[in-house]
Structure 1
Amino acid sequence: MTPSARQRILDLFDGQRLTPVQRRIARILVEHAGQAGYLSSGDLATLAGVSQPSVTRFATALGFEGYPALRDQLRVTIDGYRHGPSTMDDTVDTEPVSQFEQALSDEATNLQRLSDTLRDTGPLTEAGRLLMQSRPLPVLGMRAAGALAGAFVYFAAKVHPDVRLLHEQGSLFADRLEQARAAGAVAMLAFVLPRYPREAIDALREARACGLRVVTVTDSPVSPAAAESDVVLPAPVGSRLVFDLHTAPMAMVTILLQAMCDSAPAETQERLEAFERSTATRQIFLP
């Protein structure tokens, strides 16, 4: 089975939002591409180490009525490739592409998509201005997005006087929002990534209900978080491996920090110089 055929099978899953278990099933189909169209649901479940109902749910998640319909499509994809007209691609002797190479290649594409989106600098400029003006600045990141929110807060604290990481839920979260609003906050930054935690979407609604403008970094302009946001900054997420790759969202963290600095250059420079003096006095970093 050549890399081109593997790619055709991968294309069946492209753009689909699959759970980690479903991605494991997809990976097994790609790894066993030669037999993919002839595996029973039990065979596939055994190879992937999952239950047969998980295989059925995987097929329906892709839009098929059940696993037999997906298997029929795989046969068409594989056999149509084998017996179809010869192309130059089919005859070129190339090294197989590993799942890791493919995943990183997809991330390069995601970064290019992010670059294309940022040709219109309007939303990013508005977001930077809003976030820099909000004193304090609450920042939300739940579950998978928590690491991105934490990274943003770490660096933002060097150029913003009052950045607050929000990780509580329920009434405690509402308390923190009200306290931030009473202290002068005008905006909240949120990182909301697949699989879109319900509590994160509820938090966006609460923030807007208490009068804050919401800037959201999410994977798509049509994600569930977009409808609850005032400014949406889309950064695509890689989904080829068992767990998502957040290369583009992580790039957006630094890009958004730059937009904040650009909105208040004099204040930013003053704070950065004060930070450098402090680190030198306390000898925080090695020479």
Structure 2
Amino acid sequence: MNESGASSPDRLLDLFHGVRLTPTQRRIAHCLVRHAGAAAYLSAAEVAELAGVSQPSVTRFAMALGHDGYPALRRRLRELTAAGATDPAAGNALQRAVHAEMENLDRLAAQLADADRIAGVGRMLAASRPLPVLGLRAGAPLAAYFAYFAAKVHPDVRVLDDGGSLLADRLDQAVAAGATALLAFVLPRYPRETLDALREAADAGLTVVAITDSPVSPAADHADVVLPAAVGADLVFDLHTAPMTLAMVVLQAICDAAPAETQTRLEAFESSAARRQLFLG
């Protein structure tokens, strides 16, 4: 369930923009984003417990953001909460969940103003032959969705959606076959195996691109490129509208990186589909 109330998590992210945070401090930042409305009324000890860090770490985090201590940071959080407040009675719970997803898409659209960055990611992923795509647990359906379409324009897409010892084997096999980059879907609640796999991929020399829910998610510690897309948390289970949209944006960038090859492969697929009568329309 969402604990952010009527506050806007992207307002909190502005607090961290341009600040070099340690891994522990990124954990605290991510905790504040995930509990945006409640965090403004929690003590330093309570934030420390939620984030799984020490209370002095919370104080140092506040000072890293330019505040005298946590009380000053909490006052700032309350200001941001009040500034982002909306009418809680606007629509029913289901409508509010959908409107929250619309806001997530609006934030994603704003991030995509830097088209050159996405284009660079597309070129890097297009050049990786094979292209391993990692997604465990909640990330598995998005990895499969992306890979289904990517396989129409990329000659060798390998979905890594099972954990265990075989995951490391498949990473090694991809590297041995010539892979240079890995696309990973890292979504709450952040499977430990996913983060372990990101470390192993980096150690193997792969450039790691992570689609995740926040710039300060745990994936940021292990990825070379972090592409954030907020996850909706207003229903019993998370909504992944923005991450799925971002996945297709990345795929578009891959297509744009090699337009002639993309067109050739799409035409070959359409010819094969027509010959086999795969589709009704």
TM-score by length of 1: 0.69
* Structure-2 separation of matches of 1:135 and 1:272: 18
Report if aligned partners of 2:133, 2:183 keep a CA contact under 8 Å in 1. Answer: yes
Is 1:17 aligned with 2:47?
A: no
Post-superposition offset of 1:169: 2.2
Q: Deviations over 1:129-187 (max 9, x none)?
A: 11111111111001111110000010000000000001232321111111111111001
Q: Please name the residue that 2:14 is paired with.
A: none
Given candidates 146, 153, 158, the residue that maps to 2:152 is 158
Q: How does 1:17-166 map to 2 (within 5 A)?
A: 17=34, 61=50, 97-166=91-160
Letter in 2 for 1:11: A
* Structure-1 separation of matches of 2:89 and 2:158: 49
Report if aligned partners of 2:135, 2:184 keep a CA contact under 8 Å in 1. Answer: yes
Q: Please name the residue that 2:211 is paired with.
A: 217
Post-superposition offset of 1:12: 6.9
**SS of aligned partner of 1:123:** helix
Report if aligned partners of 2:136, 2:163 keep a CA contact under 8 Å in 1. Answer: no
| Sequence identity (%) | 59
Q: Please name the residue that 1:47 is paired with.
A: none
Runs of 4+, deviation exceeding 6 Å: 12-15
* Structure-2 separation of matches of 1:241 and 1:199: 26
Letter in 2 for 1:224: P
**SS of aligned partner of 2:134:** strand
Q: Please name the residue that 2:77 is paired with.
A: none
Q: Deviations over 1:80-114 (max 9, x none)?
A: xxxxxxxxx99xxx985200111111111100100
Is 1:185 aligned with 2:179?
A: yes
* Structure-2 separation of matches of 1:230 and 1:12: 30
Given candidates 240, 245, 249, the residue that maps to 2:239 is 245
* Structure-1 separation of matches of 2:205 and 2:33: 35
**SS of aligned partner of 1:191:** strand
**SS of aligned partner of 2:190:** coil
Instruction: Note the aligned Cα RMSD (angstroms).
Output: 2.7
Given candidates 191, 201, 204, the residue that maps to 2:195 is 201
**SS of aligned partner of 2:209:** strand
Q: Deviations over 1:248-269 (max 9, x none)?
A: 0010111111000000000000
* Structure-2 separation of matches of 1:124 and 1:247: 19
Letter in 2 for 1:249: P
Report if aligned partners of 2:129, 2:178 keep a CA contact under 8 Å in 1. Answer: yes
* Structure-2 separation of matches of 1:101 and 1:204: 36
Is 1:254 aligned with 2:248?
A: yes
**SS of aligned partner of 2:278:** coil
* Structure-1 separation of matches of 2:133 and 2:266: 21
* Structure-1 separation of matches of 2:194 and 2:167: 11
Relative to structure 1, the CA distance from residue 61 to residue 100 in structure 2 (aligned partners, 3 Å threshold; closer, same or farther) is farther
**SS of aligned partner of 2:143:** helix
How many residues matched?
Answer: 214
Is 1:277 aligned with 2:260?
A: no
Report if aligned partners of 2:160, 2:167 keep a CA contact under 8 Å in 1. Answer: yes
Post-superposition offset of 1:123: 2.7
Post-superposition offset of 1:242: 1.3
Unpaired segments of 5 or more residues in structure 1? 1-8, 19-25, 27-56, 63-88
* Structure-2 separation of matches of 1:122 and 1:101: 35
Moved more, 95-104 or 113-122: 95-104
Relative to structure 1, the CA distance from residue 126 to residue 171 in structure 2 (aligned partners, 3 Å threshold; closer, same or farther) is same
* Structure-2 separation of matches of 1:168 and 1:95: 42
**SS of aligned partner of 2:6:** helix
